[in-house]
A and B are shown apart, each in its own frame.
Chain A
Amino acid sequence: MFIRSTTALAALFLLSAATLAQASDKPSDPQIAHIAYTAGVLDVEAAMQALKKSKNKEILDFAKDMVRDHEAVNKQALDLVKKLNVTPEDNATSKALTKAADEERAKLAKLGGAAFDKAYVDNEVAYHKQVNGALETLLIPSAENAELKSLLETGLKLFQGHEQHAEHVAGMLK
């Protein structure tokens, strides 16, 4: 429990630190597109790990839902950046998210059975909460393009749905 909270906090800290680094300079649309896309890819990777390691039906169903939804929204994001002729641009926030997710995956790799299931779904709750916070306070308000803003708003509703879904699955494991 302690280790998990620490990682979640560290991830939050990294995200805020990255945010602060560019505080004078709100993220540009190409950076926002990159952050949103990265957030989706990272959750698909987490789900793939769960699909390999878990034997719990609730976890497997949830992980499949994550892969399906995040791939669908990321396809929309790719179509949009192509249409807008925007090249997603890597940035400190994307890097911080990726680093935190890599560490979490490495930690989960060492677990098995019920311990893995619980750690995975708890992290899914924390991760979606974190991304929702970033969407609400930073990404959506900073987006210039109306279509990008609209896609981010749909993304926020999707992620909020996933957060509640993850909380439900976490409740069922107890």
Chain B
Amino acid sequence: MRTAPTVSKRHLWLAMALTIAAAPAKAETIEVTIEKLVFSPATVEAKVGDTIEWVNKDVFAHTATVKGGWEVTIPPKKAASLTLKTAGSIDYFCRFHPNMKGRLTVTSP
């Protein structure tokens, strides 16, 4: 009877270790550079909960805009970020320069 708690404690530790191992990877911040009017990388794979950080190296203001959805404005020589809340394939563009295009492929964690 005296050993029982030890065993269950060990089991508990094991269970916890397994839980941690099986838990989804920690949310990441993924950087997208904007230089000479190009999003790089143009395509990013991410998970719900990850943050995309756009780093604008241009002297021009840009946006990351989803038609009928969200918009992030990235001022010249600044960065701006957005945490992804929903899964799906998201095409975005710069509203000021619609020839700039990017895509986020967001999966559930």
List A residues at the B interface (Cβ < 8 Å): 65, 68-69, 72-73, 75-76, 153-154, 157-158, 160-162, 164-165, 168
Contact = CB atoms under 8 A, between A and B. Distances in A.
Interface in B57-109: 59-61, 76, 94-100
Nearest to A71: B59
Interface centre among B61, B76, B99, B100 (most CB of A within 10 A): B99
Contacts, number: 41
A69 B98 contact: no
Secondary structure class of chain A's binding surface, majority of residues: helix
B59 A157 contact: no
Secondary structure class of chain B's binding surface, majority of residues: loop
B84 to A, nearest CB: 25
B98 A157 contact: no
B98 A164 contact: yes
A153 B38 CA distance: 12
Contacts of A161: 37, 94, 96-100
B99 A164 contact: yes
A72 B56 CA distance: 14
B59 A165 contact: no
A158 B60 contact: yes
A168 B95 CA distance: 10
Given A157-B36, A158-B37, A161-B37, A76 B98 contact: no
Contacts of A164: 97-99
Contacts of B99: 157, 160-161, 164
Nearest to B37: A157
B95 to A, nearest CB: 8
A32 to B, nearest CB: 18
Contacts of A165: 95-98
